[in-house]
Structure 1
Amino acid sequence: MNKQLLILSNDLLSEYLEKAPKGLNHAFEALKDAEISTDSFSFYTSVSSVYSSKIEGEAMELDSYVKHKKFGIEFSPDFTRKIDDLYDAYTFAKVNELNKETIAQAHSLLSKNILTKNRQGTYRTQNMYVSTPDGRIEYVAASPFELEAEMEKFYTDLTLLLKTEMSIEEAFFYASMIHLVFVKIHPWNDGNGRSARLIEKWFLAEKLGDKAWFIQSEKMYYDHHRTYYSNIRLLGLEYSMLDYKNALAFLLMLPSSIQIGRN
Structure 2
Amino acid sequence: MSTYPLQIVNDDLLQQFKDKVDATALTTKFAALEDAALSNDNFSFYASVASVYSSKIEGEPIELDSYIKHKRFGIEFQPDYTKKIDDLYLAYQFAKDHTSTRENISTIHTILAKHIVSKNWQGRFRNQNMYVTTDDGSIECVAASPFIVNTEMEKLYNDIEILLKQQLDIQEVFYFASMIHLIFVKIHPWNDGNGRSGRLLEKWFLAQHLGHKAWFVQSEKYYYLHHQEYYSNIRLLGLEYDELNYTAALPFAMMLSQAVLDPGK
C-alpha distance in structure 2 between counterparts of 1:133 and 1:52, whole Å:
17
C-alpha distance in structure 2 between counterparts of 1:261 and 1:215, whole Å:
9
Letter in 2 for 1:125: N
C-alpha distance in structure 1 between counterparts of 2:134 and 2:42, whole Å:
35
C-alpha distance in structure 1 between counterparts of 2:80 and 2:4, whole Å:
47
Counterpart in 1 of 2:15? 14
C-alpha change, 1:64 and 1:134, in structure 2 (3 Å) is farther
Deviation at residue 94 of structure 1 after TM alignment: 0.4
Aligned-pair identity (%): 60
C-alpha distance in structure 1 between counterparts of 2:106 and 2:212, whole Å:
21
C-alpha distance in structure 1 between counterparts of 2:230 and 2:215, whole Å:
20
C-alpha distance in structure 2 between counterparts of 1:87 and 1:131, whole Å:
26
Deviation at residue 99 of structure 1 after TM alignment: 1.1
Write out per-residue CA displacement over residues 73-92 of structure 1, whole angstroms, 9 at most, x where no aligned residue.
11110110000000000000
Deviation at residue 4 of structure 1 after TM alignment: 2.3
C-alpha distance in structure 2 between counterparts of 1:170 and 1:237, whole Å:
27
C-alpha distance in structure 1 between counterparts of 2:112 and 2:154, whole Å:
22
- The more displaced of 159-168 and 252-261 is 252-261
Deviation at residue 60 of structure 1 after TM alignment: 0.7
Deviation at residue 132 of structure 1 after TM alignment: 2.9
Matches within 5 A, 1:99-110: 99-110=101-112
Counterpart in 1 of 2:233? 231
Letter in 1 for 2:189: P
C-alpha distance in structure 1 between counterparts of 2:78 and 2:262, whole Å:
30
C-alpha distance in structure 1 between counterparts of 2:67 and 2:136, whole Å:
25
C-alpha distance in structure 2 between counterparts of 1:225 and 1:195, whole Å:
16
Gaps of 5+ in 1: none
Matches within 5 A, 1:13-92: 13-22=14-23, 23-92=25-94
1:181 to 180, 183, 188: 183
Letter in 1 for 2:45: F
Q: Secondary structure at the match of 1:144?
A: coil
Matches within 5 A, 1:91-240: 91-240=93-242
Gaps of 5+ in 2: none
CA contact (8 A) 1:215 1:258 kept: yes
CA contact (8 A) 1:56 1:133 kept: no
C-alpha distance in structure 2 between counterparts of 1:139 and 1:102, whole Å:
27
Q: Secondary structure at the match of 2:144?
A: coil
CA contact (8 A) 2:26 2:261 kept: no
- The more displaced of 119-128 and 92-101 is 92-101
* TM-score, reference length from structure 1: 0.97
Q: Secondary structure at the match of 1:101?
A: helix
Over aligned residue pairs, what C-alpha RMSD do you find? 1.3
Write out per-residue CA displacement over residues 48-102 of structure 1, whole angstroms, 9 at most, x where no aligned residue.
0000000000011000000000011111101100000000000000001111110
C-alpha distance in structure 1 between counterparts of 2:93 and 2:100, whole Å:
13
CA contact (8 A) 1:216 1:260 kept: no
CA contact (8 A) 2:222 2:263 kept: no
* TM-score, reference length from structure 2: 0.96
Total equivalences in the alignment: 262
